[in-house]
Amino acid sequence: MSANWQRRWQPLLQQWVIISATTAARPWSGAIEKVTTTEQPSHDPGCYLCPRVKRAAGTTNPDYQGVYAFDNDFPTLSSSAPSAQNNDDVLHTYAPAHGRCRVLCWSEKHNETLASLSPENMQAVAQLWKDEYVALQNEPDVAQVLIFENKGVEIGVSNLHAHGQIYAPSFVTDTAVSMRHAQADYARANQGQSLLQNMLASEHVQKELLVEQNEHWSVIVPYAARFSYETWILPNRHLSSLADTSQSELDELAAVYQRQVQRYDLLFQRSAPNITLLHNVPCDEHSDNQHWCFHLAFHPPLRDAEKLKYLAGFESGSNNIVNPLMPEDAAAALRAVKDTQS
């Protein structure tokens, strides 16, 4: 079989990914994303994330400096106490959609991006991730704390003020259920060992898929990457969540994370759109949680500087993502960006 056409098993999601490295070479007839850079002011009185601005719900933001977090004015999950209503009728099952939704601003400056933050401000961002995770995981009705960032107008972000979000539902999300199941299964079959730690230690990852490795963290392209330039930041020891990080681990994560954001910007020659997810262990009482290893995932929607990846008919109908780039080639391209920086 040609190396350019492969199904690769994604062991964390227990899902096949199709690597089809020829589809990228096809004549492109889809949307071309123009590189647009609009000069932004440092303060926008019309932006609900800027200091001193009155938000839609009537609250006025404080005159904050650095990071600032608040409850989302338009939450996806109900913040009122969960009702006991459940219906287990298999054809009409329902349950409460309860939880906390938070908004995290990375800087008081409207025109700042994660790539341009000072090292101290970037460390404050990582500290905010940890503080929010620790506070929310201790709330009685929270089963998972998913910290994420949607970046870029290309993926529908309406506000360019650099910010992240947290959804902290009273249930464990489907992806986390799959990841937990996969890691627990692996541990049971391998004398309790960690799936992600063994993945990181494997010779193929170390030789072909590593982008950067430091004292505490490693950046890799996963073997079965679902997005062309998908990367994960993995801890070099088994950590369940940000709550387990030492200060030096957290500070180094801030630096590694920022370098990876800068790498994407340099690769795509723009402030690159991205989706970033912090996969902390769920905080319910499930016994399989002990096998969960923290990681941070980037899901960049760009196939190259001008082309967005869409889920087309085959993928929508099959749930088997097609990646048009060999993950080993993506890792080499990302490493080369690092080389141009040094």
We find the least distance from the C-beta atom of residue 112 to Zn ion, in angstroms, to be 9
Part in contact with Zn ion (CB under 5 A); list of ranges 15-23, 44-52, 124-132, 252-260 = 44-52
Among 19, 50, 114, 195, binds Zn ion (CB under 5 A): 50
Our answer to whether residue 163 is catalytic in this structure is yes
d(CA 282, CA 278): 11
Contact 284, 172 (CB under 8 A): yes
- For the chain, the C-alpha Rg in angstroms (whole number) is 20
Part in contact with Zn ion (CB under 5 A); list of ranges 63-71, 102-110, 133-141, 183-191 = 102-110
Closer residue to Zn ion, CB minimum distance, 50 or 267: 50
We find the least distance from the C-beta atom of residue 107 to Zn ion, in angstroms, to be 9
The answer for residues whose C-beta is within 8 angstroms of residue 342's C-beta and 6 or more apart is: none
Tell me: does residue 49 bind Zn ion (CB under 5 A): yes
Among 98, 100, 110, 180, binds Zn ion (CB under 5 A): 110
Part in contact with Zn ion (CB under 5 A); list of ranges 75-83, 87-95, 157-165, 215-223 = 157-165
Tell me: does residue 196 bind Zn ion (CB under 5 A): no
CA distances from residue 232 to 12, 117, 221, 278 in whole angstroms, order as listed: 12, 21, 6, 10
Residue 313 backbone zone (phi > 0: left; psi -120 to 50: alpha; other: beta):
alpha
**Residue 137 three-state SS:** helix
Tell me: does residue 161 bind Zn ion (CB under 5 A): yes
Closer residue to Zn ion, CB minimum distance, 107 or 241: 107
The answer for residues whose C-beta is within 8 angstroms of residue 222's C-beta and 6 or more apart is: 10, 12, 199, 209, 230, 231, 232, 327
We find the least distance from the C-beta atom of residue 49 to Zn ion, in angstroms, to be 4
How many alpha carbons lie under 13 Å from residue 301 in its C-beta half-sphere? 19
Closer residue to Zn ion, CB minimum distance, 78 or 116: 116
Q: Which of 98, 110, 163, 299 is catalytic?
A: 163
Counting residues that bind Zn ion (by CB under 5 A) gives 6
We find the least distance from the C-beta atom of residue 106 to Zn ion, in angstroms, to be 11
**Residue 328 three-state SS:** helix
| Beta strands per DSSP E along 214-317 | 217-220, 231-235, 274-279, 295-298, 302-304, 307-308
Part in contact with Zn ion (CB under 5 A); list of ranges 50-58, 96-104, 289-297, 326-334 = 50-58
Closer residue to Zn ion, CB minimum distance, 110 or 216: 110
Closest CA to 222 of 280, 299, 111, 281: 299
We find the least distance from the C-beta atom of residue 330 to Zn ion, in angstroms, to be 33
Closer residue to Zn ion, CB minimum distance, 110 or 291: 110
d(CA 109, CA 337): 27
Part in contact with Zn ion (CB under 5 A); list of ranges 61-69, 155-163, 191-199, 201-209 = 155-163
Among 8, 16, 23, 47, binds Zn ion (CB under 5 A): 47
Contact 110, 50 (CB under 8 A): yes
Contact 213, 250 (CB under 8 A): no
We find the least distance from the C-beta atom of residue 262 to Zn ion, in angstroms, to be 22
Tell me: does residue 157 bind Zn ion (CB under 5 A): no
Tell me: does residue 109 bind Zn ion (CB under 5 A): no
d(CA 106, CA 287): 35
User: Where along the sequence are the contacts to Zn ion (CB under 5 A)?
Assistant: 44, 47, 49-50, 110, 161
Q: Catalytic amino acids?
A: 163
